[in-house]
Structure 1
Amino acid sequence: MQATGIVVEYNPFHNGHAFHLEKTKAITKAEIVIAVMSGQFLQRGEPALLPKWMRAKMALLAGVDIVVELPYQFATQKADTFAFGAVSLLGAMGCESICFGSESGEIEPFLTTLQFLEENKEEYDNQIRDYLDQGFNYPSALSHAFLSLHPNDAVVDLSKPNNILGFQYVKAVKELKLSMTAHTVARTSTDYHDQDFSSDTIASATSIRRALFSEDGTLEKVLPYIPETTALVLQDYLEHYQHFQQWENYWPFLKYRLIQATAGELSNIYEVEEGLENRVMRAALEASSFQEFMTKIKTKRYTWTRLQRMCVHILTNTTKKEMEARMDKASYIRLLGMNEKGRTYLNNWKKNASLPLVSKLSALDFDDVALDVRASRIYSLGATEQMAQNLLELEYKQPPIYIKEQKEIEALK
């Protein structure tokens, strides 16, 4: 069975994701779609709207065949490390292709850009260092360094967020020496960071979350932008857990971490660099909300996303040593869910698998999954008091979600 891979967060799964999934199947002609999905905390340094299990269910109900978890050490990283981890898992699972969304919508510019940067690698790296020394944040330094090389019109625009990720996927495929063909689908109507609705049916995940968390936010406001199956999962979660997860739910815990820690302890946390420990400790004493705290620590040198990722690591007490010891490659594949086709594929794939497929935590050495387990434990604190224990126990008790037949989907409607 031919498999293609996608890298997702589904925070939440919306109509734009459904379009990407449909186009992925059409372009690649693959029989199986495997999604590598971030866990409880995401690439932009945010807690997921709802837990990985519910988002995996959204994916399976929408037509994804297999969902596996992108481990914490890759999921909460800048684009190149995030992409490297995700692509390595897709390669290990036997994917013959990968398909990602982009502003470009054409794959050739990505391939041309990769070749261009390889040919100009030394100058590019020097320019990046120069711009960082001038005080530019990392994404801006990359963009300015790229433009300083005077690329021609055949290359991809690396100032666009999805193009940046797409380029890193293509780069990771080559670095890992995978025989994996890359494809891309043009994003429709909205920009990745759009905060407001600008279409009747397509909206960014950012704008959907913004609507849900607004003062008059209701699920009904976002129904035009999400599939019916997503709406049902969201509604079910609300009925049981009363609210979705956002940074403000975790602010008391982050504030406690910051005001009780020493500067030396914080300096050991991953992404706490260049005296940031002193800045965040001062801001924690003054801020009464996460939004206010972030506004106080924001500087030109560090993006909001970069600082949010740092906050995730502080919240979860994840050290530089822990992250760096796990970033070379994944040592296992954590199965979150599958349908009947996906199960058939996995039964065949496991005969020659290069990594163990894990459906129960007890099957692994705890050290391998320590970061993901800790992240899930901390994530559970964002739920209401009476439901936090339920959320905590999901990490240990929830088996991979199994959608056996189409009638199970119909039964939800």
Structure 2
Amino acid sequence: MKTLAIISEFNPFHNGHEYLLKKSKELTKADLAISLMSGDFVQRGEPAIVDKFSRADMAMMAGFDMVVEMPIHISLQSAEYFALGSVKILDKLNVDYLCFGIENMEPNDFLEKANLLLEKEHLLEELTKKHLENSSFTKARYDATVEVLGDDGFITSNNILALEYMRAIRKIASSMTPMPIKRISSANSDTDLLDSKISSSTAIRNNILTNYKDHVPTYVYELIEESKKSFGLPNMDIIYDIFRFLLLLERRPMEGVLAYEEGLENYLTKVCENNHSFSSFIIDATNKRYTSSRIKRLLINYILENRSTFNAYDINFYKVLSFNKNAELIFKNSSSKPVIRKKDYDNLSITDQMILSQMVDGSNLYSLCQKRDFNLDYKTKIRRY
């Protein structure tokens, strides 16, 4: 039995994702497909436009055999830790192939350049530290990578994340095989819908109130419209108000929170004092050193008290959002414990219980953004397809 996995956000699931899954199955000949998917908050530090249960349904309808929820502290980190935490979970699920999208080059070319960067890891780190003196980590890593490779054709957010997947596989000595698949039609950074009907998630979110229908499968369109009608779109102003209360009135310390670095607390305090809306805050807070995604991730990590120490925990469970009969083979072969029902919580270690509780807290924060019921993780029956 061979298993492939795709690390995802599906925010929302679209025609390009459908192509990625189809191509992954075609190339790997795998028997099972797993999606390790961000929960209700995604790496950009924003609430997903549709809740995690609906997005898991989208993935299952597309042809996945199981959707596993990514722990929230992993989904709210930079590419390095996002990739490492995800790969560790998939390794314990005995995944054979990790499939991911790349841009601007053919898979073999990508693998050649990625392996070169991994072989020159020490040099890459030295150059990153040099460039970090005057810019954000993302920009410093970009400049360092260009220096090592001699060109910038490799550099896209998708390719950098793909490189981190390969670095993580190597770091934990996993037997997982990386399987890069070239994106068709759109790039991850595209902001406009394309005539090809294969557009980026960003472009679809930008047009979520208008003409995105042909750019997602029919079942996805129906789920999104149902969610919009019932709950509307998530509201970041609510999250910002909670953040301001904790920072300015409760004066909760920020040190030790994921995405924090020395000086950020004082800096954000000053910005918060003069901005009453989230939109104006994020404009004023963003600069060359601190990207908007990092600031937004910090806001949510701070509210939820996601600590940097969580990265050291050895996670030995996987939270299932949906599955089919074929996935029972995954349950049998995994070295970690599935969490499907509330009572499964009691069988976990203390640290695993803590990580799971953070995931539930994240979903409850999302419920505040959309005026949903609390504790839906315990009230929602896991869908078996």
Q: TM-score, normalised by structure 2?
A: 0.92
CA distance in 2, matches of 1:103, 1:5: 19
Give the equivalent residue in structure 2 for 1:271: 259
Give the equivalent residue in structure 2 for 1:406: none
Give the equivalent residue in structure 2 for 1:226: 216
CA distance in 1, matches of 2:121, 2:168: 16
Give the equivalent residue in structure 1 for 2:36: 36
The one-character-per-residue Cα deviations of 1:97-136 (angstroms, maximum 9, x if unpaired) are: 1111110453333433343234433322211111112x11
Compute the displacement of 1:327 (Å).
Answer: 4.0
Aligned equivalent of 2:361, options 339, 355, 374: 374
Aligned equivalent of 2:383, options 401, 404, 407: 401
With over 3 angstroms needed to count, the CA separation of the structure-2 counterparts of 1:265 and 1:139, relative to structure 1, is: same
- One-letter amino acid of the structure 1 residue matched with residue 233 of structure 2: F
Q: Does 1:355 align with 2:342?
A: no
Compute the displacement of 1:357 (Å).
Answer: 1.0
CA distance in 2, matches of 1:363, 1:270: 27
Contact 1:5 1:34 in 2 (8 A): yes
CA distance in 2, matches of 1:383, 1:5: 30
With over 3 angstroms needed to count, the CA separation of the structure-2 counterparts of 1:104 and 1:328, relative to structure 1, is: farther
With over 3 angstroms needed to count, the CA separation of the structure-2 counterparts of 1:351 and 1:268, relative to structure 1, is: closer
With over 3 angstroms needed to count, the CA separation of the structure-2 counterparts of 1:117 and 1:328, relative to structure 1, is: farther
CA distance in 1, matches of 2:357, 2:40: 14
Seq. identity, % = 29
CA distance in 1, matches of 2:121, 2:356: 35
Secondary structure, aligned partner of 1:336: strand
CA distance in 1, matches of 2:235, 2:9: 15
Q: Does 1:311 align with 2:299?
A: yes
Structural RMSD (CA): 2.0
Contact 2:104 2:154 in 1 (8 A): no
Counting only pairs closer than 5 Å after superposition, residues 316-327 of structure 1 correspond to structure 2 as 316-318=304-306, 320=307, 323-327=308-312
CA distance in 2, matches of 1:23, 1:119: 29
Give the equivalent residue in structure 2 for 1:115: 115
Contact 2:94 2:333 in 1 (8 A): no
CA distance in 2, matches of 1:37, 1:367: 19
- One-letter amino acid of the structure 1 residue matched with residue 136 of structure 2: N
Give the equivalent residue in structure 1 for 2:141: 142
Consecutive unaligned residues of structure 1, counting only runs of 5 or more, are 404-413
Counting only pairs closer than 5 Å after superposition, residues 11-410 of structure 1 correspond to structure 2 as 11-104=11-104, 106-133=106-133, 135-149=134-148, 151=149, 157-212=153-208, 217-218=209-210, 221-241=211-231, 243-262=232-251, 265-318=253-306, 320=307, 323-342=308-327, 346=328, 348-364=329-345, 365=348, 366-384=353-371, 388-389=372-373, 392-403=374-385
CA distance in 1, matches of 2:87, 2:357: 22
- One-letter amino acid of the structure 2 residue matched with residue 137 of structure 1: S
The one-character-per-residue Cα deviations of 1:20-50 (angstroms, maximum 9, x if unpaired) are: 1111111111121111001111111111112
Contact 2:247 2:269 in 1 (8 A): yes
Secondary structure, aligned partner of 1:267: coil
Secondary structure, aligned partner of 1:125: helix
Contact 1:3 1:95 in 2 (8 A): yes
**Which deviates further from its counterpart, 172-181 or 116-125?**
116-125
The one-character-per-residue Cα deviations of 1:69-89 (angstroms, maximum 9, x if unpaired) are: 111121111111111122222
With over 3 angstroms needed to count, the CA separation of the structure-2 counterparts of 1:271 and 1:26, relative to structure 1, is: same
With over 3 angstroms needed to count, the CA separation of the structure-2 counterparts of 1:210 and 1:167, relative to structure 1, is: same
- One-letter amino acid of the structure 1 residue matched with residue 111 of structure 2: L
Compute the displacement of 1:382 (Å).
Answer: 0.4
CA distance in 1, matches of 2:236, 2:343: 30
Compute the displacement of 1:63 (Å).
Answer: 1.2
The one-character-per-residue Cα deviations of 1:136-155 (angstroms, maximum 9, x if unpaired) are: 11111112112223x367xx
Q: TM-score, normalised by structure 1?
A: 0.86
